[in-house]
Amino acid sequence: MAQPTTQSRHDAEPFDVVIVGSGISGINAAYRVLTEIPNARFTILEARDDIGGTWDLFKYPGVRSDSDLYTYGFTWDPWPYPEPIAEGHLIKQYIKDVVSRHGIDRYIQFQNKVLSADWSQHDQKWKLTVSRGDQTVDLTTCFLVLGTGYYDYNRPLQTVIPGIQDFKGRVLIPQFWPARYEYEGKKIAIIGSGATTVSLFPKLAEKAKEVTIIQRTPTYIISSEHMHPSLTPTLSYLPVPRSLVSWLDWWWHLFNAQMTALFCAYFPSKARALVRGLTVPQLPRRLEHDVHFKPWYTPWEQRLCLSVDGDFFRALRAPTSNVVTGHIDTVTEHAIRMRDGTTVEADVIVQATGNAMQLGGHVAVAVAGRPVVWGEKLLWHGAMLDGVPNLIYLLGYTNFSWTIGAENSARILVRLLRSMRSRGVRSVVPELPEGGLTRTQKMWRLSSTYAERANPILPKYGFEGPWKPRIHGLFDYVYYRWGNVSDGLRFVA
C-alpha cells in the first residue's frame, strides 16, 4: 500500500498518478491505485473545498440519484442503507464515510484547481498548472486521471426562453439553487421534463401554492416501486457473510439493469407498452397520458426518469399541481404564455432545462504544446483518447449506473500501470490503425437536447476493436478484468 502523502512532500517530487476530482469516480480510482499499485505516489486534486462532486454541488430540493445505489455505490464498500434511491446529502455522507474508513482522505488536496496539463514527449510526464488559493503551482505526474464528470460546473445549458428577461418574479437554476430559499405559498412553474424536474416537483409541491410543469415534449417516468427488489432482506437470514450478500445484490441489480436495457433495445414497442401500463393508473383523470406522458422516442433513447415510490405521481394528483405540454410563446411579467393560448401564472420560474456537457473539467489538455480538441478524438475502450499518452478519463454509462463505467476505466488504469511496470516503459498511447477508421459514431446514443448539443465537442467511437463503445455493463465488467486491454496501444520506454 502507498504511504500517506503530504502536500509539501509531493510538491517536491513527481507523482505516479494524479487524479482530478473527488467525486465518486475519482474516489473509486484512488482506492484502486491505493490497494492495487504498491508504493504508488498519487494524490487527488479537488477544486472545491469538500468531496462528493455532483453531490457537493447540487443542493436543490429533492436532489437524489436516478440510478439504484446498489450498483451506483462502490463494489468494495457497498451502499449500506436499505433504500435503493436516496437524496444527495445521504449519498455525499456515504462517500465521506467510505473515504475516511479507507484512509483516502489523506491523499486529497482541496481547493486545487487544475488549469492545464501538458504532456512532455522528452520527459514522458504531464506538467500540471494548478491554481491553489492565491497562487499557481506546477506539478508533474506520469499518469493523469480525469474524474471530472461530464457536465459544466460553472454554467447550465444555455436555453432561449422568449421574454424571460421581462419576468418580474424570481428565476432559479437548479444547479445554483440559493441556500435557504423559501418557496412556501408561491406559484411555481418548472420548465423542463428531465430527471431534475421529476425530483424537484414532489418537494416543491409540498409547500408551494401551485406547481406547474411546462414541458416541450414528454418523458418516460417510472416508479421505483417497480424496480427489482434488493436481495439483502432475504439473504440476511442465511448464515453467510454480509460482504457476500452485498456482492450478490450488486450482481443481481447489474444483471437486471442489463436485461432491461436489452429488452428496451430489442423490443421497443413492448417496452413502450409496459411503461404505459405502469403509468396510466397513477395519473389523475384530468391529464391525458398520450398528451403529457407519451414521448416520441422509445424507452432508453433518453434516460428513464425515476419517481421514488411514486412520489411524482402522488404530487401530480393534488389539485394544485398540473402539467402543460407544448411550446412557450413568451414569458410575461407574471406568467408564461403558451403558443396554444394557455397561460400559466407564476411567482417563480425554475429553469430545469438541462446541464451543459463538459468533459475534462475545463482542464486545458495539450500534448507537446499542441491543444487536445476532444471533439476530434476517438475513444479507446471508452477510457483513453487516440494520440494522448498516459491519460485516463473516468467515463460512466448512460443506461446503467455511472459508477460501473468509471470502475471499468479504473480497472484499465491499474492494469496499464502494472503492465508498464513489468515492461519497464514510461508511457502508453492509443494509436489508430493505419488509414484511420472508416466509420465513427456518437459517444452517447442519446437523443436528449443536452446530448445532441454537445456532440460537436465530444469524442467519437468507432465500430470495431478497442474503438467501439462500451454499452453492455454486465459483459464489460467481466471483460475489463480479464480481457485484452493492450490492443491498439503503443508502449514507449
Compute the average pLDDT of residues 435-443: 91
Q: Is the pLDDT of residue 492 over 50?
A: yes
Q: Is the pLDDT of residue 21 over 80?
A: yes
Q: Domain residue spans in the chain?
A: 7-153+357-492, 165-236+273-353
116's grid cell: 492545464
Q: Kindly state the DSSP code that residue 267 receives in the 8-state scheme.
A: -
For 256-283, how does the pLDDT look when each residue is reduced to its tens digit (9 = 90+)? Answer: 888 888 899 899 999 999 999 999 999 9
Per-residue confidence (pLDDT) for residue 236, from 0 to 100: 62
Query: What's the rounded Cα separation, in Å, for the pair 97 and 297?
Result: 40
**pLDDT, mean over the chain:** 91
Task: Please report the sign of the dihedral spanned by the C-alpha atoms of residue 11, residue 16, residue 19, residue 22.
Answer: negative
Per-residue confidence (pLDDT) for residue 10, from 0 to 100: 46
Q: Is the pLDDT of residue 226 over 60?
A: no
For 11-20, how does the pLDDT look when each residue is reduced to its tens digit (9 = 90+)? Answer: 546 999 999 9
Shared fold status for 7-153+357-492 and 165-236+273-353: yes
Per-residue confidence (pLDDT) for residue 322, from 0 to 100: 97
Q: Cell match 437536447: residue?
A: 449
- The answer to whether the beta carbons of residues 431 and 286 sit under 8 Å apart is no
What's the whole-model pTM score? Answer: 0.92
Q: Is the pLDDT of residue 296 over 50?
A: yes
The domain over range 7-153+357-492 is classified in CATH as 3.50.50.60: yes
For 359-410, how does the pLDDT look when each residue is reduced to its tens digit (9 = 90+)? Answer: 999 999 999 999 999 999 999 999 999 999 999 999 998 878 899 999 999 9
- Stated as kind and residue range, the H or E segment containing 419 is helix 402-423
- The answer to whether the beta carbons of residues 395 and 406 sit under 8 Å apart is yes
Closest C-alpha to 279, from 310, 257, 303, 300: 310
Output the CATH code of domain 165-236+273-353: 3.50.50.60
Model confidence at 66, pLDDT cuts 50, 70, 90, reads confident
More confident site: 236 or 165: 165
Compute the average pLDDT of residues 466-471: 92
Query: Percentage of residues in the chain with pLDDT exceeding 90?
Result: 73
Q: At what angle do helices 473-482 and 402-423 cross, to 10 degrees?
A: 10
Model confidence at 7, pLDDT cuts 50, 70, 90, reads very low
Per-residue confidence (pLDDT) for residue 444, from 0 to 100: 84
- The answer to whether the beta carbons of residues 214 and 350 sit under 8 Å apart is no
Query: Percentage of residues in the chain with pLDDT exceeding 70?
Result: 94
- The answer to whether the beta carbons of residues 188 and 373 sit under 8 Å apart is no
Q: Is the pLDDT of residue 450 over 60?
A: yes
Q: Is the pLDDT of residue 287 over 90?
A: yes
CA distances 72 to 94, 170, 248, 407, Å, are 12, 35, 15, 10
